[in-house]
Structure 1
């Protein structure tokens, strides 16, 4: 048991650095308390959250979100209100009548669930972190001994959350710094559009073009700000679904060339469960011919090396035929790679890809 516990603690810290490990860790923890699965949820507000789960609960939780149960879920608020520095069972802070009659518990019981133990942690990014372990309803509430075991692991979970949060901020800063070296103003936004990290070039646009307000990033020109808000909403309402990209033209101003503001989702490994990074804002001057290198493009959109090279060549104005000849591949292969690039960046047209990466042309309405 001691050896198994040591391996479990090690896996918790490993998951802090490698987010893909969390589902396995949640599943292992759940089995050790006779549960059916675990869920990890981070939220800046009740309406805005990220999550992961053990594999066997994934489909149920997707349905939980899709069908609106998450929006009326009483668990997070009730758990936070207890202000308890440990795990607590839902049967300890809900009455028997609430458990029997609340519609969310009706949904959970329809899936064979209905009993859980959870805890809330805080990290510097401002997120509320919830670990929750579910148990089959027919097996009864989670045992007190199981809660004590989870409490013994809570300090490790808290330190892992802190570590993961700091790593997330470092990755966000690295993204903006890489774009600064290319001469591109950039910022990483939290959910709902609040600035998480920004480079110096982006900061020079304040307050003439952009305002960093406490609630969210805001553009000085109302018409542009409305488009920006629409882009935020388009990304936020498609958490499960295709990526959305928003390109907004900004007219020239006093001593300033026209620009295009690109708003894209932070995807893949760049957005783990603890990272506050949600969206990336890149500003490209219209008179700039430079295109980010293939490595940066690959990192931004989770492209394969081959896809990133195709994206860069297309953004530089090369045709599919020329790219195929230069690479020694067939046109069909290059077209398939380009199709994959458009899918991952959320774009529908080759011309939009050029505008996104180089800002060499205003996007079509």
Structure 2
């Protein structure tokens, strides 16, 4: 079942009534009691969707203005989210967890204990919280539970980007979906042919270019190599799994992240038989956007790779960054090579520039 879960995650991004089933499976693969998705936007009230067991708890929490009252939620916005799923007892101060009676008074009678969650910050400024609820009798997650969740996190991040833009409403067709997303976007066929593109993407001549046989390419050669590999991956022609591609800043244009979202099942029908949705995002200044976690979380880095990237972005030498991550320098070099491959950089100076450019933008 877990092998088909990524496709179902992407499908739910466009057909939100499918989220409860996806979240139920997310709960099952992590040996949890329930799961939920909460979308935060600094311009609107949070929206949420959940499995049956925890849905009434979230509804009551929302009715009691829990988002404004909960110390946990306030800390969520003030602490830098890690680029992985975390167990709440390992992340929040004990007093913050113990004081959240709006949640505890409703979850304890259900036999629910702690939470395992991941805060996914979008380049557009919103944030998605994917959370699983642990049974009291099986409270602390195992390493295997966390590994399964973190393997799904990049798919959840990209689906969360679509879900935040659509506002948990169903996309009806290609035109309405691309308008609602409000980002530069194009739909490709299984052969890479551009079936539709909105005006926002067509206006990005410095980022995208058309190629022979109606295909699409990225102007930057290194980024285009990653992009074409990702297209082949979505089409099943490559084992490469990276589907978020960085495009370095140019002149007065900020760094761009190009996401490839596979269109299967109902999403395939919504987009008139399209197979790949290409969406471009630029980093937006927002109180919700921490950096460098933003880039680390979106480029399919493992938690260990993300920690090393974050340390390097602070100006640490590889030796010191490795020591701070409790790994050997040799392992650190291996992680660094993987980070280079996933971010489209070739040297540590390029990686540092990419991470720092996002940090500057997030402070504006």
* TM-score, normalized by the shorter chain, greater than 0.5: no
Q: Which has the larger radius of gyration?
A: 1
TM-score (norm 1): 0.42
Higher-RCO chain (CA-CA 8 Å, sequence separation at least 6) = 2
